[in-house]
Structure 1
């Protein structure tokens, strides 16, 4: 791996950590970057998932003020994320690599669609909040199994899982979006951490630890940037960057 490639992966990690904290689609930056340098898809996915764990923790810590008073809610949804992410990571290891190559373009496309539709999703969530009333503190009954489904997606691939998580939390839990975003960051850290642990135990030889280290350092920095001033970044520019990079990955898969 050349110094230029290492620098590019480090910067991709910074971007991913920032975007994950604010938007929740950072994998659509790091994953295509790794593919562009010839990293095999499964190795790229596993190494990326582990590398993003410190960034998720960093972002969650940056939102610690918004997490005040949400201990019970976090514990409830953490159990769903724990089960889901474990199942998703095991699916990645059990399914043949050919299945992964067939599924990844669909997941990337889904992630891109979610990123493009994020403003509309956010407006719908806001309208839903305006009409909510009398919900339990932990949200409607369907929120827990929905978070479990998001956890499966996180463990298997995870691109735009933050958007999915915010859509579920925003529609089913009566609280401010900033506080729910704090919860989302905690669940992302847990989901990535659980999936990373499964990969370390079951697929140690598949991991590229240089990539893990570069993304870990970059995403940790990015997590703090996202928590401190990331909300001030122009969202259209972030979405455009993700769509461009993700589209390159999609084309690479389809023609490769």
Structure 2
């Protein structure tokens, strides 16, 4: 790899780790950067998933206070995340490269549209507070199966998987934004981790690209939890959504052109 490509992946990794730990859209930055270096789509995706493990390590290590008292919940949801991530990895390994290249634009477009229609986190946190008052000692039953389903998507591709999971946790656990965000980062970190192990063994990982990307992802992931309460999230969400739609259009034209 050239020095310019290493710099691109490191910077893109930092942006992906930061945005991923705040808005759940790391792949919208890291995946295109891998493609820009000439890596084929499926290889870029598995390399991206392997590198994303460092986002989870960074964000979880910076979120220990928010995870305090959530051990039992984390064990249950973490198990669902591991099973879902493994399932997603198997699906990707069984998907032909051509089919994957054609489905990616739709996944990115769907993730971006989700951001445009989703209410801002403060509103979701308010709903979570109301649920906590109604069900102070028990999470909603739907949280476990939905965690499994979102983790499948996370192991397969994952763009906006974090956004979906954060919304679910805010609405079903009764926790506020910071604690739900920490829980999301931990569970998706486990899902990415098990998928990454599968890819490292059975898929073609571009390790020279994964390393600088992972360094940036770790740094961005460490910073994200510290700014999650201060970031202008509504504006940020809309900017990322528009960029994601543009990316989906570009990749779609390449795939179907």
Q: How many corresponding residue pairs?
A: 254
Q: 2:53 maps to what in 1?
A: 53
Asked if 2 retains the 8 angstrom alpha-carbon contact of 1:31 and 1:44, the reply is yes
Q: What are the residue-to-residue correspondences of 1:45-194 with 2, within 5 Å?
A: 45-120=45-120, 123-124=123-124, 126-135=126-135, 137=137, 139-194=139-194
Q: Offset of 1:244 from its aligned partner?
A: 4.8
- C-alpha distance 173-250 of structure 1, shift in aligned 2 (>3 A): same
Q: Offset of 1:40 from its aligned partner?
A: 0.9
Asked if 2 retains the 8 angstrom alpha-carbon contact of 1:32 and 1:245, the reply is no
Asked if 2 retains the 8 angstrom alpha-carbon contact of 1:20 and 1:56, the reply is no
Asked if 2 retains the 8 angstrom alpha-carbon contact of 1:25 and 1:115, the reply is no
- C-alpha distance 174-157 of structure 1, shift in aligned 2 (>3 A): same
Query: Taking structure 2 as the reference length, what is the TM-score of the superposition?
Result: 0.91
Q: Which secondary structure state, in structure 2, belongs to the residue aligned with residue 66 of structure 1? A: helix
Aligned counterparts of 1:42 and 1:52: Cα–Cα separation in 2: 15
Aligned counterparts of 2:35 and 2:247: Cα–Cα separation in 1: 7
Root mean square deviation, CA, Å: 1.9
- C-alpha distance 216-140 of structure 1, shift in aligned 2 (>3 A): same
Aligned counterparts of 1:252 and 1:201: Cα–Cα separation in 2: 31
Unaligned runs of 5+ in 1: none
Q: 1:226 maps to what in 2?
A: 224
Aligned counterparts of 1:174 and 1:229: Cα–Cα separation in 2: 22
Aligned counterparts of 2:35 and 2:194: Cα–Cα separation in 1: 24
- C-alpha distance 186-50 of structure 1, shift in aligned 2 (>3 A): same
Q: Offset of 1:200 from its aligned partner?
A: 0.8
Aligned counterparts of 1:250 and 1:151: Cα–Cα separation in 2: 22
Q: Which secondary structure state, in structure 2, belongs to the residue aligned with residue 232 of structure 1? A: coil
Tell me the alpha carbon deviations over residues 203-240 of structure 1, each in whole angstroms, 9 at most, x when there is no partner. Answer: 1xx11001110111001111111123354333245335
Aligned counterparts of 1:132 and 1:238: Cα–Cα separation in 2: 28
- C-alpha distance 142-63 of structure 1, shift in aligned 2 (>3 A): same
Q: 1:17 maps to what in 2?
A: 17
